[in-house]
Chain A
Amino acid sequence: MFSVEGMSVVAGRQQLLSEVTLQFESNSITAILGANGAGKSTLFKSLLGEYPLKKGHVRLNGKAINQYSLSQLSKMRAYIAQVKTGFFSMLVYEYLQLARLQYPESEKYSENLILTLAEQFQIAHLLMRDVTCLSGGELQLIEFVRAYLQLYQSANMQGKCLLLDEPASALDIKQTRLLYGHLKTFQRQGGTVIIIDHNINAVANIATNLVLIKDGKLLAKGTSKAVFNKTILDTCFETNGHIILNTANNAVENSIYQV
């Protein structure tokens, strides 16, 4: 799906990322972990094509991302930022309509699509509300549906990627579960999820893969099961913690890293 080869990013004199090589497989949820300033956001923005790369390539479905048009890219990957502010007032429904801008389809078709998906993701009651009057949690769910609509061509999400930058930072436990549930649904449909989240325990719960970054370099990558251990996490965050295992079963879903 997404692949990064030997990527280096330099801003001024500072080396933000050096020689990062990574693969994000289809049908997976990858969490990017790392301390503040480790280069997570830089990696993210490189995937979005925000920086000119000093070295290396970012490929999407086998083709360098700068060879796609903006419109083509928008149908393959969608970005969800931390809670946004600064909206002009409009209806949630009108906001969601804008996500279908790149698709040549009738208004009736997109209306039906929006309504169906709103029902599916349980936000139908928000459609006629004003975006400026939503809570942070509601807004983030709307953002997810917006991103989903942006990518939607059929229920098969093979070859489509969702990038989320700390989506749960303003959400309570219930909303977080709801959002993560939606991400799982997206993954089951064949999609790729790449997510940054500071709550490593919550995100390791849903992630199939983990990528750990320290000082602009790749520290570790692999399945959650393999990477989520004391030695690696200690090095990554320069802490001394321990892992609590839920003894009911030995799945990663139940291990918690505590400092």
Chain B
Amino acid sequence: MKTPTTILKVQQQIAQRKHGFQPKITALIMALFVVAVIALNAGAVDVNLWRWLSVGASSPLQHTILWDIRFPRIVMTMITGAGLALCGAVLQAICRNPLADPGLIGVSSCAALFAGAAFAVLGTVHLPLFLMSYFVPLSAFLGASLALILLLKIADSEQGMNTLVLILAGVAINAGAMTLLGLIQFVVDDATLRQITFWSMGSYAGINYTSLSITIVPVMLGTYYFWQIRHQLMLMSCSEKQAKYQGVDTRKIKLISLWAVAAIVAVCVSFTGIVGFVGLVVPHICRMVFGTHLKVLLPTSLLSGALLVALADTLARTIIIPAEIPIGLITSMVGVPFFLYLIVREKRKFDYV
């Protein structure tokens, strides 16, 4: 037998790699904290975390702005950003398609359709106040769930789930939802049209602890589940058949993952409207910057998604004080150029697809 110098070298490299990505994750977490502090201090009203710390609540109004308005909003941006990016990474692995994102399987457009219908209803019918504030989110959630059930009915069979059928069905559902939404937009009056348009560009205004706690549950559970099945997902992203032969229950994993994705997207979209682009681009950016293995990609996507959306929301509400820019526009404005830059830089390394 040869002298095992290669083996020794390999052992060293394995040991190095095992902890190689931990500093990056630590850095991301630190960045997230910094952004959180900045976001807490920025805004239309001059309230400062330092002043609050040194003097205590200087006035009840300032306390309310800091902890009842800004804080839940910032946490919400992070939770939804993390959730959307995570869903994108998982869908891309399951569909073995780099273009997959929560928008692709029709979930967010169906949510948009139902939200639009809800706005149309609110414009004509007077509902009791407590129902009014949750009517749109509830409808959006209903739409997202309906899209998923429809999708699974079409794509699932005894033999397993065909990924191509899944994507095609998603595209069809997307197109159908968009058409119906167009119809609604055509019929409603100008004020409602404006509401629908703003909703579909996303906004974190008016987030409170109730909506935050509803959102946090599916995102946490989904994160936990996806982390548990990261190796199975990795096998499935190589070849679904082979994964099955290697003992992975691919049908079950697909089914649960899709439910988890839909639940996460549904809660994220329901309260804040469509924050586009995060699910598609954040996982790609993380792949190029941190690596393609899901054990790295999942945590980094999660953190980067949170970072991107938190930053974007801070910009959205500070650029043109006292008004707010729709956050969907900001995520695209920040993300697209950066994404293009990475594509151009890494053009030759596009082997991972």
Which residues of A line the B interface, CB within 8 A?
Answer: 48, 70-75, 77-79, 81, 84, 86-91, 93-95, 97-99, 101-102, 111, 115, 118-119, 124-125, 127-128, 130, 132-133, 150
Contact = CB atoms under 8 A, between A and B. Distances in A.
A70 B252 CA distance: 12
B27 to A, nearest CB: 23
Interface in B293-319: 293
Contacts of B237: 88
B287 to A, nearest CB: 9
Contacts of A97: 231
Interface stretch (B65-73, B207-215, B243-251): B243-251
Interface in B218-274: 231-232, 234-235, 237-239, 241-242, 244-249
B6 interface: yes
A127 B10 CA distance: 7
A94 B295 CA distance: 11
A119 B247 contact: no
A27 to B, nearest CB: 22
B11 A115 contact: yes
B245 A48 contact: yes
A149 to B, nearest CB: 10
**In the complex, the 5 A-B pairs of residues with the closest C-beta atoms, listed nearest first:** A74-B247, A89-B352, A71-B247, A102-B247, A132-B351
B12 to A, nearest CB: 10
A71 B352 CA distance: 28
Nearest to A131: B238
B165 interface: no
Given A88-B237, A94-B293, A101-B231, A79 B245 contact: yes
8 contacts: A74-B247, A78-B246, A79-B242, A86-B239, A87-B238, A88-B237, A90-B292, A94-B293
Given A86-B96, A115-B7, A101 B245 contact: no
B1 interface: yes
B23 interface: no
B5 to A, nearest CB: 9
Nearest to A107: B18
A48 B246 CA distance: 11
Nearest to A70: B247
B6 A74 contact: no
A102 B10 CA distance: 24
Contacts of A119: 1-2, 4, 6-7
Contacts of B247: 70-75, 101-102
B248 A101 contact: yes
Contacts of A94: 234, 293
B234 A90 contact: yes
A70 B292 CA distance: 27
A19 B114 CA distance: 55
B13 to A, nearest CB: 5
B14 interface: yes
Interface in B63-107: 93, 96
Contacts of B292: 88-90
A125 B6 contact: yes
Nearest to A125: B6
Most buried by B among A72, A86, A98, A118: A98
B235 A98 contact: yes
B48 to A, nearest CB: 46
Nearest to A98: B235
Contacts of A84: 238-239, 242
Contacts of B352: 88-89, 132
A90 B246 contact: no
Contacts of B353: 88
Contact of A128 (B13, B238, B244, B248): B13
B10 A124 contact: yes
A99 B246 contact: yes
A115 B10 contact: yes
A91 B14 CA distance: 10
A74 B293 contact: no
Contact of B249 (A70, A89, A90): A70
A185 B36 CA distance: 60
A130 B331 CA distance: 33
A101 B234 CA distance: 11
Nearest to A89: B352
Contacts of A130: 351
A77 B247 CA distance: 10
A89 B351 contact: yes
B297 to A, nearest CB: 9
A174 B296 CA distance: 37
Contacts of A72: 247
Nearest to B234: A98
Contacts of B242: 79, 81, 84
Contacts of B6: 119, 124-125
A133 B351 contact: yes
A74 B246 contact: yes
Given A87-B238, A90-B234, A128 B246 contact: no
A91 B10 CA distance: 12
Given A98-B246, A101-B232, A132-B351, 14 more contacts: A75-B247, A79-B245, A81-B239, A89-B292, A90-B234, A90-B292, A90-B293, A94-B293, A95-B238, A97-B231, A98-B235, A101-B246, A111-B11, A124-B7
B154 to A, nearest CB: 21
Contacts of A75: 247
A35 B172 CA distance: 42
A93 B10 contact: yes
